[in-house]
């Protein structure tokens, strides 16, 4: 993407279950409800959600284009898909995104991307939806992009991409497995390398023993589209990749947001996606210059202090 372009993401509710979307019918003429394009100055992407009674709780990455900071925010909808409220859900010293959600043994868990922290951390809700604590004992001490957990064939599985290089975090899929939720995790190593679709991009969906995983296409641009990978044989020593196909854009959004799509997640009778358009903007170079000036100022201040201490 050009230095003078920035991604303008738009998250949306698709009024169809994910199982229908991944069938040959795709998005078709599904009704779409757009989330706010921005909330408190932040762009919203990476949507994951779940229902509690007649309320739909959608968790998103909230990215502030001016501070370069991203946190997790929750949007609450009623059964008529009217937005009731928004609230901060999770903040850390490092940037957060891709808040994958799942339930297990009566608990609600979130696995947000936090690769700047140098490790992957699992959170459990202590006062849903706005209070979370780290799960003690969960150990995956690697820097991970878009870690995606699910339980299948009596074991826990983790799809993930490494954050240790620009190339690998855009084109490499790893699979790890554990007997328990907290590990110990055994990584099976690089499973797939393909800029055309390898980085996890949403909810793994199990249908009659087959696992469908949305993955991100990064050939033309970062987050340029979604592909569906199809896996079998999770009961054996290693899953088997048996197919994959691209997922077309929702027709009602393809004109306004033609440049990308990088999340598809399940939320009961509806699904959640994000799409993007690339826009010309001076904000990106200006904000990068400001950040460099701030960094330079900190370096000069520290150098002056060291000199004065001599």
How many Å apart are CA 168 and CA 161, to the nearest integer? 7
What pLDDT is recorded for position 252? 94
pLDDT given for residue 26 in this prediction: 87
Q: What is the pTM of this model?
A: 0.90
pLDDT, residue 279, reads 87
Confidence at residue 76, expressed as pLDDT on a 0 to 100 scale: 98
Confirm if 57 and 265 have CB atoms less than 8 A apart: no
CA distances from 262 to 57, 93, 98, 272 (A): 20, 25, 10, 11
pLDDT tens string, the chain, 310 residues long: the values are: 555 678 999 999 999 999 999 987 789 889 999 999 888 889 999 999 999 999 999 999 999 988 899 999 999 999 999 999 999 999 999 999 999 999 999 999 999 999 999 999 999 999 999 999 999 999 887 889 999 999 999 999 999 999 998 899 999 999 999 999 999 999 999 999 999 999 999 999 999 889 999 999 999 899 999 999 999 999 888 999 999 999 999 999 999 999 999 999 999 999 999 999 998 876 666 666 665 665 565 555 555 555 566 5
Distances from the Cα of 112 to the Cα of 4, 16, 28, 116, 301, angstroms: 29, 25, 30, 12, 34
pLDDT of 28: 87
Q: How far is CA 307 from CA 288, 297, 298, 302, 304, in A?
A: 29, 15, 14, 9, 5
Distance CA 34, CA 12 (A): 4
Residue 1 half-sphere exposure, CB side, CA atoms within 13 Å? Answer: 20
């Amino acid at each position: 993407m050009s230095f003078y372009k920035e991604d303008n993401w738009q998250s949306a509710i698709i009024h169809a279950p994910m199982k229908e979307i991944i069938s040959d019918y795709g998005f078709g003429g599904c009704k779409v409800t757009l989330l706010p394009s921005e909330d408190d100055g932040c762009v919203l992407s990476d949507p994951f959600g779940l229902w509690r009674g007649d309320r739909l709780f959608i968790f998103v990455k909230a990215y502030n284009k001016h501070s370069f900071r991203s946190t997790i925010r929750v949007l609450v909808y009623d059964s008529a898909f009217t937005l009731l409220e928004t609230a901060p859900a999770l903040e850390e010293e490092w940037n957060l995104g891709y808040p994958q959600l799942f339930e297990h043994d009566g608990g609600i868990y979130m696995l947000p991307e936090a690769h700047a922290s140098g490790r992957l951390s699992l959170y459990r809700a202590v006062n849903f939806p706005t209070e979370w604590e780290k799960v003690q004992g969960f150990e995956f001490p690697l820097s991970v992009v878009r870690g995606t957990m699910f339980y299948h064939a009596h074991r826990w599985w983790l799809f993930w991409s490494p954050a240790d290089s620009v190339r690998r975090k855009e084109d490499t899929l790893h699979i790890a497995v554990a007997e328990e939720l907290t590990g110990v995790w055994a990584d099976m190593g690089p499973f797939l390398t393909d800029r055309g679709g390898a980085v996890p991009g949403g909810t793994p969906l199990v249908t009659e023993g087959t696992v469908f995983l949305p993955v991100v296409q990064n050939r033309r641009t970062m987050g340029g589209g979604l592909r569906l990978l199809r896996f079998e044989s999770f009961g054996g020593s290693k899953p088997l990749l048996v197919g994959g196909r691209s997922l077309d854009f929702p027709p009602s959004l393809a004109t306004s947001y033609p440049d990308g799509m990088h999340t598809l997640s399940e939320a009961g009778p509806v699904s959640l996606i994000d799409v993007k358009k690339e826009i010309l903007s001076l904000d990106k170079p200006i904000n990068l210059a400001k950040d460099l000036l701030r960094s330079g100022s900190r370096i000069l201040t520290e150098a002056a202090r060291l000199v004065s201490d001599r």
